Amino acid sequence: MATEILMPALSPTMEEGTLAKWLVKEGDTVSSGDILAEIETDKATMEFEAVDEGIVGKILIAEGTAGVKVNTPIAILVEEGESADAAPAPKAAPAAAPTVAAPAAAPVASAPAPAAPKADGQRVFASPLARRIAADKGLDLTAIKGSGPHGRIVKADVEGAKPAAAAPAPAPAAAAPAAPVAPAVSASAVAKLYEGRKYEEVTLDGMRKTIAARLTEAKQTIPHFYLRREVRLDALMAFRSKLNAQLEGRGVKLSVNDFIIKACALALQAVPDANAVWAGDRVLKMKASDVAVAVAIEGGLFTPVLFDAESKSLSKLSSEMKDLAKRARDRKLAPHEYQGGSFAISNLGMFGIDNFDAVINPPHGAILAVGAGVKKPIVNAAGEIEVATMMSMTLSVDHRVIDGALGAELLKAIVENLENPLAMLA
């Protein structure tokens, strides 16, 4: 039986992609796990694996084709002796119905094929061939454990399964009235405003579309509030200089940002109620401090995650951050390296920015915006004026997850760690 191979969703935010390169040709025999193609997502170029076995009967989308929607048929897989011409004509991927966006508990990569809904609202990922066999045998896919990539149900899982007794379908919920949505301004309407003026039109790539969508969602759905503090950096700068002199022989050079990452990770452990994410109808309190750090790249940004940052040394955090930042700029990060985390840091101090307010990256509970260290006069504990290096920090907080006093406690812990850097090594 001919099987359509569909354009996969290789990242949680992917809606379309570019079929960069086919690694098979028509007539090739493939098995589950074989690499079929390289696909450019909104974040990176990734390999696409086969989940069924068969023969590549027909390639429907030529390599180099951009803007291929998720779940669009890209090739036909046939069995021995079967012709691809006998396959049903491929249907275009259905347009997504408008939904109210809500941050997920944790991003989960979508499977290449359409998924059937589970009773609890989750989705069942199964290959088209497995789904057809299940339908013929009257099998309930929600009761079958998949052995394919990421738990996907494949042909072998359904061939030996037996049908279970059908459960009564739940009564449909009453449809909620749709909220009024302001009409979007069309591109042609905007262009008319600038008729007669010279400009360059820049087509949005996948990353820029994703950034626009996610940050619009964040500002519309997350009740932000902001907490501001200044931190005195003199002790940290002196300690960093001493450490770097001692670590020079090992080729290690610590940045101020490395100390900020460590300070935030330890503060999340000291204030565990603030180490949390919003999960739609609940809050998830995280045990480890998984800290994401914004990295600017050409045309956008990544937020790679430093997992278990509280337990790592400054030198380990420094080398790991340098590696993640380099691969982010080369767009070589795997999805699991930039998904997750409960807290983020955005540092624009190196660009001379004194202070700013960062937008929370859902489902994170907070993000710390870090400004530049600036020498300024202050009044010390003895009431005397002296010059100190001060750095402004703004904590953007999701009020659904963290209340004002709890956010203030977290920011206070971060400041204390940075002003007493030696204690972070204890």
Query: What are the residue numbers of the active site?
Result: 399
Separation between Cα atoms, residue 49 and residue 148, nearest integer Å? 10
* Total residues belonging to the chain: 426
For strands 343-347 and 291-293, give the pairing: parallel
Is 370:343 a contact under the CB 8 Å cutoff? Answer: no
Beta-carbon contacts of 296 under 8 Å, excluding residues fewer than 6 positions away, are none
Separation between Cα atoms, residue 49 and residue 51, nearest integer Å? 6
Nearest to 93 by CA among 183, 9, 23, 169: 9
Is 140:158 a contact under the CB 8 Å cutoff? Answer: no
Q: Using the 8-state DSSP alphabet, how is residue 231 labeled? A: E
Query: Taking the chain, what is the end-to-end CA distance rounded to the nearest angstrom?
Result: 64
Nearest to 43 by CA among 206, 244, 236, 275: 206
Nearest to 149 by CA among 250, 36, 318: 36
For strands 45-49 and 35-40, give the pairing: antiparallel
Question: And the tokens for 378?
Answer: 């202050």
For strands 29-30 and 54-59, give the pairing: antiparallel
* Amino acid letter for position 420: N
Angle subtended by helix axes 234-247 and 256-270, to nearest 10: 110
